[in-house]
Amino acid sequence: MLLTEYKEAEQMELFKEDGRREGRAEGEGLLAKLMTILFEKGLVKEAQDAASNEEIRKELYSKYNLV
């Protein structure tokens, strides 16, 4: 019984780590798309703001239909 519980807990931890890894990759891809759009439009100040401010980043994701 204890071995089964241990393996289940270990497996759940692996699932969580996989989810974190996927989430980070998705977030990096989203940010890369946003930065590409902003730089192509010459919006360097907006890119700087987005890089350092989560609220601005969320607004820009929405504005450019990235979410």
The residue extents of the domains of the chain are 2-63
pLDDT band at 2 (very low <50, low <70, confident <90, very high): low
Q: Classify 26 in phi/psi space as left (phi over 0), alpha (psi -120 to 50) or beta.
A: alpha
- Read off the pTM: 0.77
Burial class (CB in 10 A: 0-12, 13-18, 19+), 38: buried
18-28 pLDDT, tens digit each? 999 999 999 99
